[in-house]
Every structure is written in C-alpha cells, then in structure tokens.
C-alpha cells in the first residue's frame, strides 16, 4: 500500500534533509515588511530565531499595493525554481486600503481586486509554471498545431494571459474560445511548485486615524491633509477579505487588524504614526508569525543547524565532524 506524505512529514524531510543549504523563509510585503529588519523589527527577530537554520529573506517594498506587487512575482519567485522557499509571508493591504479621493488615492485598490491579486500571488507560489520552447508534444492538451510558425493553441481548457512578444502565459484551467499562434508558450504543470511551502497571509494592521493626522501635521505643516487618507473601518474590510481568502485557499493567516485592537491603547502602543509599527507592534507580528510557523511544523527549536555546532568539532580531528554533512 502506497501512503502519501503528510504536510508535516514533507516539511520535516525538506528541513532535515541531507542538503547543507539552508531553507529560505521569504517575507513579501510593503513598507511594514521593508522596515522589519530594523533594530527590534519583526523580520530581524525572525532572522535571529532561525539563525543557522533558515535564511530569512527580506522582500519588502514601501508604498506598494497588491496591484504593483504582481509585477514582482516572476523576479522574486522565478518560475520552475529548484529551491522554492519553505515558507512565505504575504503582508499586503495597508496601501490598497488607502481611500479613493484622498491624498493617497494613487495607491487605492478596490477590495475585490485586492482579494483577486492576493489569490494570484498565492497561486503563483503554489504552482510551477514550466516554460516550453517549441515542444508541442509536451503540451498536447493545449496545442492544436505546431509548425515553423510557432505553436497554435486549441480552444480547450486554458486561459491565456500576459501575451507579449510572442509569448503566452497559460495560468489556469478554464475555458476560452480563441485560437492563437505563438512561438513560445508557458503552461501550467500538473506538479505543484512546493507542496510543502507554508504560505501565511497577514492582514494590514488597524489604523489610528488621529495618529495619521498628527503625523501629517508634524511632517507637512500647513500643507497637511485635512482628512485621513485611511480609516480603520475601511482597513477592516480589507482585513476581513484577506482572512476569507485564506480560508478559501486553504492557507494560514494572521488577523493583525483584530489582534492589535484586543489591547487597550493600541493606537499609540503599536503604531508610531497611525500606520507603521512601533517596537511593541513589531513584537506582536513576530509572536504571531512564530506561532503560525510552530503550528505548521516549522519550529526553529526542532530544526537542525546547517553545519556542526562548534562543540561537536574535535580540535585534533576536525574533518570528522564535517564528513556526514559535507563530504
């Protein structure tokens, strides 16, 4: 009888495997992620916790919303990667929730689009897109004809997106009715990119509207906005959408918007300018991420060092300690 590995067993095999290369944990998000490697930041604390066990990779882009983040996916998470991250946090939405008609409306993304963009990010991480160059036989379920002029797609089960420079990215299975010819085609592989990858969606934090106004007055003086560019109520709608999507997709989530508001005086305790995190706010994010990681079998205390601890090295015969892992 053949038994499939559980997610726990698969992750343990990956992090306890024979490779000496550390697994990667990627933090993907906006300025709240970009700032997380500052002193006392939640990313820096994660890097310290997983020191010598996993590399915590910072991919934070201040001011970005989910719409703009989509342009980064192929650069940050290359298709067909042989070593995808063991875990990725997706911490976006604070800028999407900026109000239309206010000073930050350039960043505004409607909540339904926000959810759809998050869906695309998760799908990109979960599925491996394999690029085929003039290999029609390998993509026969999508290909009608293949000749010197390129590859002709059948009107079967595929969606064609990102059609540029003779390239077609087939991103998911559904129906379409056009027949087009391209020299190169990218199709969905039936194989998951990383069945063990832990994906964690994090909601935007709550908004202290008065704190945002105070920050604007201190920074811009008479030119400061007269109305807050974000509200806590609206941000809560985005947080709810994020949590709902996580449940729909079967990935883990952290409701930071709700969690922080459980504490009296959260406005000043956790937010330094009504939006970005104080040291205490960073501590909340760190604690919540570590809790989710532990629940998902990514407990730093149970992960091995990438190379022997110094106490295991014999001063007279040092090579012995490295034979098992390195030779």
Quick one: 92 and 59 in the same domain? yes
CA atoms within 13 A on the CB side of 214: 12
Report the number of distinct structural domains present in the chain.
Answer: 2
Backbone phi, psi, residue 10, to 5°: -65, -45
Quick one: 123 and 141 in the same domain? no
Q: Does residue 326 fall inside a structural domain?
A: no
The reported pLDDT for the residue numbered 224 is 78
Quick one: 150 and 285 in the same domain? no
Quick one: 69 and 204 in the same domain? yes
The reported pLDDT for the residue numbered 82 is 74
**pLDDT tens digits, one per residue of 181-224:** 444 444 433 334 455 789 999 999 999 999 999 988 888 788 77
Q: Does residue 273 fall inside a structural domain?
A: yes
- Average the pLDDT over 22-39 and give the result: 97
**pLDDT tens digits, one per residue of 230-259:** 999 999 999 999 999 999 999 999 999 999
Most confident segment among 112-126, 166-180, 208-222: 112-126
Q: Does residue 327 fall inside a structural domain?
A: no
CA atoms within 13 A on the CB side of 30: 22
Quick one: 67 and 113 in the same domain? yes
**What is the span of the domain harbouring residue 150?**
135-182
Which of left, alpha, beta for 221 (phi over 0: left; psi -120 to 50: alpha)?
left
Q: Does residue 319 fall inside a structural domain?
A: no
For 59-68, 128-137, 196-205, 282-291, which range has the lowest pLDDT when averaged over its residues? 128-137
Cα torsion for 94, 100, 102, 107, to the nearest 10°? 40
Quick one: 200 and 281 in the same domain? yes
Quick one: 65 and 171 in the same domain? no
The reported pLDDT for the residue numbered 162 is 38
Catalytically active residues, by annotation: 31
Quick one: 217 and 294 in the same domain? yes
Backbone phi, psi, residue 323, to 5°: -60, -45
Q: Provide the percentage of residues in the chain whose pLDDT is more than 70.
A: 71
The reported pLDDT for the residue numbered 14 is 55
Quick one: 221 and 147 in the same domain? no
Most confident segment among 15-19, 62-66, 218-222: 62-66
For 28-37, 95-104, 141-150, 256-265, which range has the lowest pLDDT when averaged over its residues? 141-150
Rg for the chain, CA atoms, rounded: 23
- Average the pLDDT over 248-275 and give the result: 98
Quick one: 178 and 212 in the same domain? no
Q: Does residue 318 fall inside a structural domain?
A: no
Q: Does residue 317 fall inside a structural domain?
A: no
Q: Does residue 2 fall inside a structural domain?
A: no
Quick one: 52 and 167 in the same domain? no
Secondary structure in 3-state letters for the chain: CCCCCCHHHHHHHHHCCCCCCCCEEEEEECHHHHHHHCCCCHHHHHHHHCCCCCEEEEEECCCCCHHHHHHHHHHHCCCCCCCCCCEEEEECCCCCCCCCCCCCHHHCCCHHHHHHHHHHHHHHHHEEEEEEECCHHHHCCCEEEEECCEEEECCCECCEEEEECCEEEECCCCECCCCCEECEEEEEEEEECCCCCEEEEECCCCCCHHHHHHHHHHHHHHHCCCCCCCCHHHHHHHHHHHHHHHHHHCCEEECHHHHHCCCCCHHHHHECCCCCECHHHHHHHHHHHHHHHHHCCCCHHHCCCCCCCHHHCCCCCCHHHHHHHHC
Whole-number Cα distances in Å, 161 to 169, 187, 286: 5, 11, 37
The reported pLDDT for the residue numbered 297 is 86
Q: Does residue 91 fall inside a structural domain?
A: yes
Quick one: 32 and 177 in the same domain? no
pLDDT at 3 over 60: no
Token pair 């550390």 in the structure block, residue:
22
For 138-142, 316-320, 322-326, which range has the lowest pLDDT when averaged over its residues? 138-142
pTM of the model: 0.77
- Average the pLDDT over 42-68 and give the result: 98
Looking at residue 96, which CATH number applies to its domain? 3.40.50.1110
């Amino acid at each position: 009888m053949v038994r499939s590995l559980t997610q726990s067993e698969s992750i343990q095999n990956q992090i306890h495997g024979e490779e000496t290369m550390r697994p990667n944990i990627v933090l993907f998000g906006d300025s709240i992620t970009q700032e997380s490697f500052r002193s006392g930041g939640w990313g820096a604390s994660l890097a310290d916790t997983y020191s010598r066990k996993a590399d915590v990779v910072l991919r934070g882009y201040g001011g970005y919303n989910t719409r703009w983040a989509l342009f980064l996916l192929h650069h940050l998470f290359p298709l067909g990667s042989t070593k995808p991250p063991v875990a990725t946090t997706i911490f976006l939405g604070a800028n999407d929730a900026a109000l239309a008609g206010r000073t930050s409306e350039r960043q505004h993304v409607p909540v339904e689009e926000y959810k759809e963009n998050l869906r695309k990010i998760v799908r990109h991480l979960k599925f491996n897109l394999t690029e085929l160059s003039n290999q029609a036989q390998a993509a026969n379920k999508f290909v009608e004809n293949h000749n010197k002029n390129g590859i002709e797609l059948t009107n079967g089960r595929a969606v064609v997106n990102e059609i540029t420079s003779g390239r077609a990215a087939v991103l998911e299975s559904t129906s379409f009715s056009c027949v087009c010819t391209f020299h190169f085609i990218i199709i969905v592989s039936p194989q998951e990119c990383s069945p063990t990858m832990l994906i964690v969606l994090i909601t935007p934090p709550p908004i202290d509207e008065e704190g945002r106004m105070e920050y604007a007055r201190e920074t811009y003086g008479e030119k400061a906005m007269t109305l807050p560019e974000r509200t806590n109520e609206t941000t809560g709608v985005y947080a709810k959408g994020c949590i709902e999507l996580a449940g729909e997709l079967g990935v883990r989530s952290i409701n930071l918007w709700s969690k922080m508001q459980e504490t009296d005086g959260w406005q000043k305790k956790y937010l330094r300018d009504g939006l970005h995190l104080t040291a205490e706010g960073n501590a909340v994010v760190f604690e919540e991420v570590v809790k989710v990681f532990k629940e998902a079998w990514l407990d730093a205390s149970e992960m091995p060092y990438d190379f022997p601890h110094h106490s295991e090295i014999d001063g007279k015969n040092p090579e012995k300690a490295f034979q098992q892992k390195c030779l």
